[in-house]
Structures are given as structure tokens and as C-alpha cells.
Structure 1
Amino acid sequence: MSLCHKLEGIMNKFWWTNNKTLRGIHWSSWDSLCKPKCVGGVGFKNLFLFNKAILAKQVWRIFSQPRCLLAKTFKACYFPFTDILSARVGSYPSFTWRSICNARELIADGLVWRIGTGESINIWNDAWLPGREQNRVSAQHIMPNWTTVNQLIELETSTWKRELVYNLFDDDTVARILSIPISDGGGEDLRVWKHDGSGVYTVRSGYRVLNSAHLQVPTLTSPNEGVYISFYKALWSLDIPGKIKIHIGGCLIICCPILVI
């Protein structure tokens, strides 16, 4: 972390100074510069979070490709009887293993079940509802007679048992469940990365999740915020030299902080 901060300090100094011998005035915080361009930042990388997103790529590789040499090696050394997400760090971990373990939380929090047969998915404990938020069923009373998702599916027609679903869940949950498509052939239940449409983890999507949580970038709630977003998108898409767009964006950060969400 200290190394990342030193590198960011060098980048920050280069951004704000025009003379090697002077410190210059830092008109805005580094976090503001690291915000996405569409919300008033410059899009610089937070190096610590970016490194964590890269490490999470290795976690995803071990998780999704258990037969690759990397996964077999780590499994034999550190988690022979469990999986990468449940493995313990251990007493004397290598630097590589400890670093990978620090990125597991990102992958674990971003996984959601993609329904095949539904036999492997617990209705009440697993994350299987679509969307990026609240993927688990929020039920005050768990029905012990219904435990796995396949009990909610009509196998002969590959459709949801609508009457049963309406009886077990609230209207919002019902709508989310009924929006899940069910393939005729069933297939295997898979855990996928919910922050990308392909279901596959990418460093870009992982960094976006980490950076949004770190900067607490809010969700748009008013028309005015939508105008600001449209303005910044239009600015960075102008067909003019990049240095001019960067100059304009920097001036807005300094002079018009109200535009920075």
C-alpha cells in the first residue's frame, strides 16, 4: 500500500506542477481525480484498488478453471479439501497466496447463481435473484418444506410454479423470480460474476466495483444529476485533441466542484 501511495504521489505531482523544482498547488484531492470521467473525474487509477482487481482475476481463474495448473498447485498446497473462497490463509502463507486471499472478498461478493436445474441452489441462503443488489431472498419466515430452487420449477414444461411462488414470496421478489428464464434442457447450476453481462470477471468491472465503493459514487436520483452526467460524457466524446479535453476537465474540477457528483 505504501508503494502505491508513493507512485500516486509522483503521478499527482506531475499532474499539478509545471516545473520539476516546484511543488505546485494541488487544487483537488487525488480521490476526485480518480473518479470516472462521466461523473466529473479524470479517470486516474487508484493503484491499490487496481492491484486488488488484478489479484481478483487470479482468484477467478482458480475458481472458474479448477483443472488449470495454477488451480491444481494452489489447491494441493493450501486448500485440498475445500475451494478457493472457503480456504484459510494458514500459518505460514507465501506472499503470493496471502495477496490472492486479500482479493477473495471481491469475487465472493460479486457471485450470483445462474439457474440450470436449480438442484444446487438453496432458496433462502444463496444469492440467485437477478440484479446487482439484494440477490438473496429476504424472508422473515423460512419455509422448511421448500429448500432448493428446483422445487419451484415445473420440470415437464420448464416454467415456474407461479402459484407456489406467489404464496412464498412478496410481490417484488415474485417479479424478479418470474423474470429468470429457464432453459428446456436444464443444465448445470453455475455461479457467475454479476457485474458483467457475460458472467465472467474482468479487471475492468472489478476495479469499477471497488472504486465506486471507495469513492461512494451515488446512484442518480435527480434530473439535474443526469444533466451533469450527459455534460461530462459529451465533453469527453468531443472530436478535439485530448490535451484540450483534459485541460477543460481539470478547470471544471477546480472552478466548478458543484458539477462533480
Structure 2
Amino acid sequence: MERIMNKFWWKGSNGGKGIRWLQWDRMCTKKSSGGMGFRKLQDFNVVLLGTTVSITQDPWLPSSDPYIHTDHEAIRNRTVDALMITNQIEWDVDLVKDIFSERDAQLILSIPLRPSDMDSWFWKWENLSHYSVKSAYAAIQETKQNSCWNDNFPWKRVWNLKVPLKVKHFIWRAIRNILPTKDQLLSRRVAVIDKCPICNLEVESVYHSLVSCQFAKQCWCLLGISPVEDDQSSFNNWLSAMIQKCINRKLQEVVMVCWSMWHNRNEIVWNQRGGEGSEVCRSAKALLNQWQNAQDKSFDNFLDFMNQEDDKERWEQPQEGTVKINVDAAIFENFNTYCWSMVA
């Protein structure tokens, strides 16, 4: 099942097999540790076992022979909580004595249910000490993730950014160096020319494509980002530095421009067309504003384009026997054209 899930995640948009850039175990690492937080089914099945104890199938009695010997129709396929008084942490003594043999009944009733001053077992991963599937699964993953990735990248800052989810996913792939850049494709034995499709001067890597390429430097200059320092040899290090010195709004624009540059790169690779640096930055900011306005339930697209005087104007139905002509026009700067229309 996990193999099918991994195959589905990495398959191409055209239905092809695609390249599986990352192992499923690493994909299941929690987001704050650099993974995608997918559920590992085997571990989840293990922790589910802790929520129910079968009366007849599980070894739960305090004895060297911990299994129930009684065979009764009322306890088949039932769990231990069925032997307690409803909504109380107390054995239903009459029920237990009626159903079970003397041996089983004595062992069951010898198990204390009410809290006392004596030491007792508790679940340390929950504040209330009660077992839960969520905390058990998190504890299992924590032990595995300590050896999965050893980095101090501020992942929570990335995942908490108010930008489209597709942009967060793109940034995650860029940090993990699993974008289909020329150097990565060659490492997967895909026959491609290693040069950057934009500048055609250097080998294309994530760092080159998004940071050190002359086109990328132009975009960062337009955004007001200082030149790249020589000691930043990876996109991971560069973005870490951006996170340290940028406020939230600026950091949002940084990741949006990264995504917009990659989109522009793909337009060049697949459609042989691309825009100028100014267009890349402008489209990144426009997409960010549109997305954030869409998330703001109090935002009104109609009122945003009206001033107080315009607010008094409303469309009115024409008088009988007359014709009313409604007109509108728009200018499209990217295509250097305009359009107008009218409806009578």
C-alpha cells in the first residue's frame, strides 16, 4: 500500500511514472523535521492495537497464564471495557461472576481500576497520562526521525508562511534538493544537457537556478535582496539566512519569487518562452496578494475597487421603452493589448 501511495505522489502530471525523488520513510518524517508528515501505515497499525483489548484473544489477566478460559457467547468479539459499569471506572461484579468461571472471575476482579495513592502506570506522552493513538504514533516517529535527518533548518517558519500550499511544497523540494534540475536528472541517469536553460553558462542546480544565476540575481535585486555571499553554497543555507533577516511579509515574497522563477524556467524548457525579471517579480507579488485576499473572508473584491463616492452608485433597471447600454474595458500589460465590450 505504501508503495502505491509513493508511486501516486511522484507520478507525472501527464500520468507517467515520474521519478521517486525520496524514500517513503523520509516522506513520513513530520513536517517540523523536514518531511511531509505522511502516515506510516505499519506504525499506525501498531499503535492502534493499544486502544482495544480483546477479552478472549489478548493476554490481559494477572497470571502466568494470562488468557481467559471461559467460552461464552456474550464475550466473543468484545473488548474489556464491556465488563465495566457504563460511564464508570468500575467492574460490573455481577456480570463478571455470572459469565466467567470462578478462576477467571477472581483474576478479573483482582485488577484494580480506581486510582489510589500507590504508584501506578501512566502514559508519559500525554498531559493527562492516558494512552492515545496520536501520541503513541508521534513517539514512534520521534525515535525514527532522530536518525533520519540531522539538520537545524527552521521548518516551522516555512510551513507557517501564509502562501499557497503548492509554493510551500515547492520550497520543501528545493530545500531537500529534489527538484528536477539538470544536475539531479543526470544523477538519475536521465540524458540531458547539464547547462542552465536560462543563462546557458553553468551547470543547473537548485542553488544556481534560484540564487546564483544572473537572471535570479536580477530578480533578487528588483525585490531589494542583497547580493549572494560567497560562503553560501547551497539553497538550504541561503534560505536559512533569508529566514533570519526577513520579516514575514518579505519572506513570503522571497518564496513566491522562488516559485515564480521556477515557473518561468519551466516555461522556457517546455514552451520556449519566458518573461523578464520584472515580470517574474510582479507576477509573484500579484499571486501572493490574490491568494491572501481570497483567504480573508472580510475582503470584498467589489468594494476594494470603489471609493466612497462610487459607493453611492448602483446599477438600475432601464425605464420601459428605453435601451440601456452597459460597457466595460480592460488593459492587459503583459500582452500589450486591451479589450472592451458592451451589452444592451
TM-score clears 0.5: no
TM, length-normalised to structure 2:
0.34
TM, length-normalised to structure 1:
0.44
Higher relative contact order (CA 8 A, sep 6+): 1
